[in-house]
Structure 1
Amino acid sequence: MASVTVSPVADRAERKQFVDLAYRLNADDPNWIPPLRSEAAALVDPAKNPFFQHADVQLFLARRDGRIVGRISAHIDRVALDMPPEQGFGPGCGQWGLLEAEDEAVCTALIARAEEWLRGKGMTRVLAPISLSIWEEPGLLTMGHDHSPMVMMGHHKAHYQPWVEGQGYEAAKMLRTYDLDVRVEYPKLIQRIISSGEKNDKIRIRKVDKSRFDEEAALILDILNDAWSGNWGFVPITDAEVEHTGKKLKPLVFEDLIRIAEYEGKPVAFMMTLPNLNRPIREIGGRLFPFGWIKLLRWLRKPYPADMRVPLMGVRKHLQSSRLASQLAFMMIEYIRRAAVTEYGAVRGEIGWILDDNQGMNAIAEAIDARVNREYTIYGKSLAQ
């Protein structure tokens, strides 16, 4: 077999080849959802993705006999370098991601080239795969290959796991998603906790106000940064990333699916739920043109039926580990569950990702009879020679 060569992506044409490769290599996987090509292209475009404003990024393509057979990104998030090492990132920590490879030899060559680039930039260890930001698609799918991911979640072929681990990578952290049938009412104990909260005049669970989108987004970000600041893998979101993400998510924002909890008149928690955009994207094959945009726009006006994913939830740090925090979480989950079933015909809900050692959130998921349906592994490796 001919040798594999790996070279940096040098121009716009090669960046397009980088994007296109994922569609070819995953075409035979019935559970892979082709992302919108415009979104996939924007992710790796320095002019469109604000991640590039605080990160050094290099894309690579692998070739065999002149044919493109693999891809990988190597990147250094300068904001992550300033985080405490005990939270995962910190000084000397680089990342790679967006891995696609035809075979193990290609995978080996790509990872070696990404590591070489990171060493050349002074990095001493690596966390991977992370594509590109920790807020986008972190981790390699290591459980749950038998079904499709929901919106904003990655999907990888099962053979990538032994290929990556064969290069000396060990699990650093596990991320879980939980699946549940949202038509089923929660256990009696949870219902009593919710009922008790409804009788408490100090608690108010409200819908977001989309007419004040920027203000509400800033409020949610403030709670998020406070709630998640001590979590493993946390990296502050920049203002530019907030604006960029807000524009992308605004069509998916429905007021009854995102809730803010107030206690004594102050916002202290939130829960964001998104209808599963992957359902219509699968139907249009990731292509908006010539007619995909019509189908997508029709679905976005009123997603029905639409299963739901809870990608983000947070309770201010001073309330964490308290009974009130759990009560607020159960109340938000229940109010969103009711709306999802009655207004959007939802059957399934998915919560996550959740860190495997986040005892509070794992306990909440288990209390409502949710089950782990997907696991993503973030691997670590020393780059010392």
Structure 2
Amino acid sequence: MRGLRKDKVNEDAEILREIYNDAWSDTWGNIPLTQDEVKSLLKALKPILRPEQYVLAEVAGEPAAIALVIPNMFDISGDLGGAPSPLGWLKLASRVMSHDFRSARVVLLGVRKKYLGTALRAMLPALIIDELMKRGHVLPYRSIELGWVLETHEGLRKLIERISPTPYKRHRMYEKLLVE
């Protein structure tokens, strides 16, 4: 397990993209991440991204699973209103620099498809979540949300339910053909 390498951010971002796209390629409604999207995401997140928020699990030296945790910007901007004053922008910058967040969300989590049907498929997400919990002394969050887990991903759902037994939100997606 390792975090983001500051000297190899672009390489780590590409690993994240490859694993995420591979892991989610057969999921209904998934749109693969492009290199440009990942570069843009990285640029936007640079002020709030810390090495501890990126977890890469390797198997035999090969990247196998990934997670990316993003802080909840509302924690530091909620009291500033929709159009902050110049003083509000200074407050926001100060809060970003001090990393004064209370909560975060796992926005990307994936395991390479080649591990489907193996014990590693179940173990890697558990190990990543365990690693995030171990990093709790470094990360300032009081809560981390694990969301957007498909109901068909029963193993991951059960793992999350063991950690936090009460889902507080449920989203549904439906498909309807508009033209035949």
TM-score (normalizing by structure 1): 0.44
Query: In structure 1, how many angstroms separate the alpha carbons of the residues matched to 2:99 and 2:117?
Result: 35
Q: In structure 2, what is the equivalent of residue 375 of structure 1?
A: 170
Query: In structure 1, how many angstroms separate the alpha carbons of the residues matched to 2:165 and 2:28?
Result: 23
Tell me whether 1:253 sits opposite 2:49 in the alignment.
yes
Deviation for aligned residue 1:280: 1.3
Deviation for aligned residue 1:265: 0.7
Alignment of 1:1-385 (within 5 A): 205-340=1-136, 342-384=137-179
Deviation for aligned residue 1:251: 2.0
Aligned-residue identity in percent: 30
The residue identity in structure 2 corresponding to 1:343 is V
Deviation for aligned residue 1:232: 1.3
SS of 2:176's equivalent?
strand
| Aligned alpha-carbon RMSD (Å) | 2.0
The residue identity in structure 2 corresponding to 1:217 is A
Residue ranges of structure 2 left out of the alignment (5+ in a row):
none
Query: In structure 1, how many angstroms separate the alpha carbons of the residues matched to 2:119 and 2:102?
Result: 32
The residue identity in structure 1 corresponding to 2:69 is T
The residue identity in structure 2 corresponding to 1:356 is E
Select between 372-381 and 354-363 the one with higher mean Cα deviation: 372-381
**What is the count of residue pairs matched by the alignment?**
180
Q: In structure 2, what is the equivalent of residue 42 of structure 1?
A: none
Task: Work out whether residues 102 and 140 of structure 2, in 8 Å CA contact, stay in contact via their aligned partners in 1.
Answer: yes
Query: In structure 2, how many angstroms separate the alpha carbons of the residues matched to 1:285 and 1:320?
Result: 46
Q: In structure 2, what is the equivalent of residue 114 of structure 1?
A: none
SS of 2:21's equivalent?
helix
Task: Work out whether residues 306 and 344 of structure 1, in 8 Å CA contact, stay in contact via their aligned partners in 2.
Answer: no
Query: Larger Rg: 1 or 2?
Result: 1
Deviation for aligned residue 1:313: 0.4
Query: In structure 1, how many angstroms separate the alpha carbons of the residues matched to 2:50 and 2:144?
Result: 16
